[in-house]
Amino acid sequence: MSSSMIQGTKLIRSLPVVIALGLFAITIFSWNQTQRASSQANQDYFDFRVREAISHIENRMATYQQVLHGARGLYEASVEVTRTEFRDYVFSLHLADNFPGNQGVGFSRIIPADQKEAHLSAVRKEGFPEYNILPEGERDPFTSIVFLEPLADRNLRAFGYDMFSEPVRREAMERSRDSDKPAMSGKVRLVQEDGKKEQAGFLIYIPVYDNHFPHDTLSNRQANILGWVYSPFRMNDLMEGIFGEYAQDIDVEIYDGDQIDAESLMYDSNDSNDPNSIYLPATHSNVEDVLISNQTINIAGHTWTILILALPSLYTRVDADESLPTLMIGTMASLLFGWLARLLITGRERALKIATQMNRQYIESETTLQAILDSSAIGVAWANRDGKIEYVNSKFTSMFGYTLKDVPTEEQWYIRAYPDTKYRRKIIALWDSMVEETMQDGSHLSPMESEITCQDGSVKQVLLLGSWAGSKLVVNFTDITERKKSEALAEYKTNHDFLTGLANRALFSEHLDQAINMAKRESYQLAVLFIDLDNFKHVNDKFGHSVGDALLKEVAARIKECLRESDLVSRMAGDEFLVLLREIEKNDVALVADKIRFVLGHPFIINGQSINSRHSAPIIFNFRNNT
């Protein structure tokens, strides 16, 4: 046999081995590629679940902060909030149904040490004879939880508790006060706990300032703080149901701050498992390959660390390994490529199915959020960064009369709400400057008051509170029209005589001081006239006090007719009147005094009776420069 034939025979004999090795190489390559695809599919699905879990936590906490903004709006729209008004507001929220884990909404008031006894007496008279500020001891100031609804069961233990006396709570309260923003505390043991099935707790605070004083600077905020609206939370109750129907796919652990240890652990969704063990699927041989995510989030100025691990059921959501059955069918490239095509197509279909299911859950959560906002006691609207208004709640429409169709953009809102061009430019400039300042860091806009024209033409005074939620600017609208009217009426009563409507002694003294200072600067003369009715007591005794009151009103009216717009007349007491004459020459003072003497010398017709009022000649006090 020739050498060429021998070589040919060897080649033929080795051909099965070559084919086997080739097919084996293809098999190994295909198996490796399929395993990588399976691992990537698991990783993609796990990443999706991580993003979804973080989003659910952030959205829930943002919604709960809006509840506290509403409670603060109640204080900003009122001169004083009563216990009944506070309870009715919280009851309207239906906390147990809409806000799981929120133990209640409360108000903690600051009480200076020298006002403690008066405060205790006032609260005890409301029907709480055992009320006291706890813990006992001397400090200044005290704080006390004076409102907490619902005031039952666990919450009764917190009534009267001084949260400012505990360091973790105090840090959050001071941070909220100084920044005028919501502040979340670190991990605490809530005073509501009774030692049975306790859970980690925390609190969120929003400051409430005195409406009559500014809080635009740090010193003003520290000086004019009244207290805090707040909510306490129990972690397990808060997280109940938040991760949806596929919650068993992942283990979510939440740690307070940046440290991951037993002391800072606040929540573990899978605490029945050994915390030191990590699940490894069949396709993973190393701990380094396990699906795990470690992220930090910031909620109301406080950091949480979120540790998320994949659990066994997650790996079953995507068909992780179909390579072995395919490889056993044979080595035909067409079958292998067909299997790969099938893997890609079925993998895409499964991904779409999972995405559809998750999107349905998201839509349901959006529907729930919209229902909560529509039941809110304040108007709410939000717009995107392009100025398109995407949502207004029912309270916004009932407050102003505008629907989303009426004001689809910020530009159309400004035109309708502020028809006066000059005032509109002022509001837009102020608002845009605050938006520009807060857009980058997502902080809250400073509260702003404005006059808004409604659909029916009426004008309301409104407090605007803006805050960023991602790329959307959320604005709360609180109607403070009645509060402003009450304040104006109270100010008028404080400075005017109730009978004649003239300035009272306090207002006259204030204007006199201002006029004297102006006269010194501008070197002009001013004068004060003193007028006394000599027979007023006789009129009261003869005709009665109703006639005497009517006479005083007529005297006031006649004196005002003798004066200029810049002059001021005041009833000091009984039948005594003072007149302030600004920027007047000495000769003109005498003319005004004569004119008053003349008009008061004519009889007064009151209830059909003619009454002559005798009065002393006006006494004149002249002021010029420093005299």
Given a cut of 70, is residue 4 above it in pLDDT?
A: no
Which class is 73-239 in CATH? alpha beta
Given a cut of 90, is residue 417 above it in pLDDT?
A: yes
Residue 626 pLDDT level (bands cut at 50, 70, 90): very low
- Residue 247: per-residue pLDDT: 79
Q: Name the token pair of 42.
A: 């698991």
- Kindly give, in sequence order, each residue whose CB lies less than 8 Å from that of residue 21, ignoring residues fewer than 6 positions away: none
Q: Name the token pair of 63.
A: 């919604």
pLDDT for 513-534, tens place per residue? 998 998 888 888 888 998 888 7
Average pLDDT value for residue range 63-89 = 90
pLDDT for 106-144, tens place per residue? 999 999 999 999 999 999 999 999 999 999 999 999 999
Q: Which CATH superfamily is domain 496-624 in?
A: Reverse transcriptase/Diguanylate cyclase domain (3.30.70.270)
Given a cut of 60, is residue 287 above it in pLDDT?
A: no
Exposure of 242 by Cβ count < 10 A (0-12 exposed, 13-18 middle, 19+ buried)?
middle
The topology (CATH level 3) of 379-481 is: Beta-Lactamase (3.30.450)
Stretch among 212-216, 225-229, 284-288, 319-323 having the lowest mean pLDDT: 284-288
Given a cut of 50, is residue 75 above it in pLDDT?
A: yes
- Residue 319: per-residue pLDDT: 55
Q: What span, in angstroms and rounded, lies between the C-alpha atoms of 158 and 163?
A: 9
Residue 254 vs residues 84, 191, 267, 293: alpha-carbon distances, Å: 37, 21, 5, 12
The residue ranges of every structural domain in the chain are: 73-239, 379-481, 496-624
Q: What span, in angstroms and rounded, lies between the C-alpha atoms of 160 and 587?
A: 68
Give the global pTM. 0.54
pLDDT for 151-178, tens place per residue? 888 899 999 999 999 999 999 999 999 9
pLDDT for 584-624, tens place per residue? 888 888 899 889 888 888 888 888 888 877 666 566 666 66
Ordered DSSP codes for 438-496: HTTTTPPPPPEEEEEE-TTS-EEEEEEEEEEETTEEEEEEEE-HHHHHHHHHHHHHHHB
> Is 73-239's fold the same as 496-624's?
no
Q: What span, in angstroms and rounded, lies between the C-alpha atoms of 355 and 209?
A: 46
Amino acid at 428: I
Say if CB 250 and CB 262 are below 8 A apart: no
Q: Name the token pair of 94.
A: 């239906």
- Residue 28: per-residue pLDDT: 73
Burial call 352-369: b when 16+ CB within 10 Å, e when fewer: eebeeeeeeeeeebeeeb
- Kindly give, in sequence order, each residue whose CB lies less than 8 Å from that of residue 295, ignoring residues fewer than 6 positions away: 50, 54, 305, 306, 308
Query: What is the sign of the dihedral through the CA atoms of 36, 39, 44 and 47?
Result: negative
**472-479 and 379-383 as β-strands: parallel, antiparallel, unpaired?**
antiparallel
